[in-house]
Amino acid sequence: MGASALYHLARAGCCDAVLLERDTLGSGSTGAAVGGFRAQFSDELNVRIAVEAIARLARFGDEFGVDIGFRQVGYLFLLRDDDVPTFTASVAMQRALGVPAQLIDVDEALAHVPGTSPNGLAAATFCPIDGLATPDAVVQGYAGAARRLGATVRQGVAARAIAVERGRVVGVRTDGGDIATGRVVLAAGVWSRELAATAGFDLPVTGERRYVYYCDKPGPLPDRTPLTIDFATSFYFHREGPGLILGGPWATAEELAPVALHRLPAVADLGVASAWSGLYEMSPDRNALVGACEEPAGLVYGTGFSGHGFQQAPVVGEVLADLALGRPSTLDLAPFDVRRFTDAADRPEANVV
């Protein structure tokens, strides 16, 4: 999100913009992400963001000269009875917005994923424009383009506090010295809340850890296996290179095993070659927090994406740049302002993995 905002600031002519990264680019939550993108959301605004973001990811290689491993293999949501009504309504809304999502029966769903058990399933949804890309490559593409436009990326420099005087942002305190600025774009993921607090502002973001397991053999699943989600359990899997990714909220392979074996029995013969984890930045209603503060003035925030930040970054990064520059955006994200919680106008996103 920060790299996208930096690029869009620089493209708009703000070439003295600076991106602070406490470690190296892509080394935080982005580096742990599996890189999925999808239009299958329950919130119409998320679908509108997704349609544009997917189009931008599709042409990313041509525009930035970076191969991001863009693969439209689709997303397949496996549903039990209780989930079918919600997803039926979501598919109708998505199709009204031009998204080719479909509600399909179990036999058609399992044709996409050989070896998957139908136990307990009632239906599924599939969308062929959904898929996978490489998050780190997208970060490097945006950062490289921003540098060429004159922006600065400072790696190994942590932001420690946002300095405020008389209700306005005046700078950022970092490990490498203070930076004077009247505008700060806060896109620090799960760490956004503690940085916002230094400016006297509350961002209701909490961290939830997700775990990823890599099997170096794919079992019976073909190359173009969709990113498949057993929605009731949050277990998901997809092909990754010569192998297979399994993921969800389970901290050990032993905890994952009964859930994975129930839905994909073939994993019993694969074994786990490696594993890692990363943090989701969760908001109270599982939707993004995007806006510009009234106080302190000059603070713009984009966080709380609840697991879909990478895929929204091509669009939301531009909106953050527009907010920082005080200019209108082509897509109005005002409903994602944090003030929705005090106004009792929260808008839950149901399709969170």
What average pLDDT is seen over the chain?
97
Contact yes or no for 20/295 (Cβ under 8 A): no
Report the half-sphere exposure of 96 (CA within 13 A, side-chain side): 10
Quick one: tokens of 231?
Answer: 């929605």
Is the pLDDT at 344 greater than 90, yes or no? no
Contact yes or no for 286/306 (Cβ under 8 A): yes
Is the pLDDT at 277 greater than 90, yes or no? yes
Report d(CA 205, CA 211) in Å as an integer. Answer: 19
Contact yes or no for 229/18 (Cβ under 8 A): no
pLDDT confidence of residue 345: 82
Which of 263, 209, 254 is CA-nearest to residue 231? 263
Q: Does domain 75-128+207-282 have CATH number 3.30.9.10?
A: yes
pLDDT confidence of residue 204: 97
Task: Give residue-wise pLDDT tens across range 157-214.
Answer: 999 999 999 999 999 999 999 999 999 999 999 999 999 999 999 999 999 999 999 9
- Which ranges in the chain are annotated with CATH 3.30.9.10? 75-128+207-282
Average pLDDT over residues 266-278: 95
For domain 2-65+134-205+283-340, the CATH class is: alpha beta
Which of 240, 184, 247 is CA-nearest to residue 217? 240
- Which ranges in the chain are annotated with CATH 3.50.50.60? 2-65+134-205+283-340
pLDDT confidence of residue 194: 97
Quick one: tokens of 158?
Answer: 């942590």
Residue for token pair 């898929």: 131
Quick one: tokens of 64?
Answer: 């930035």
Task: Give residue-wise pLDDT tens across range 134-171.
Answer: 999 999 999 999 999 999 999 999 999 999 999 999 99
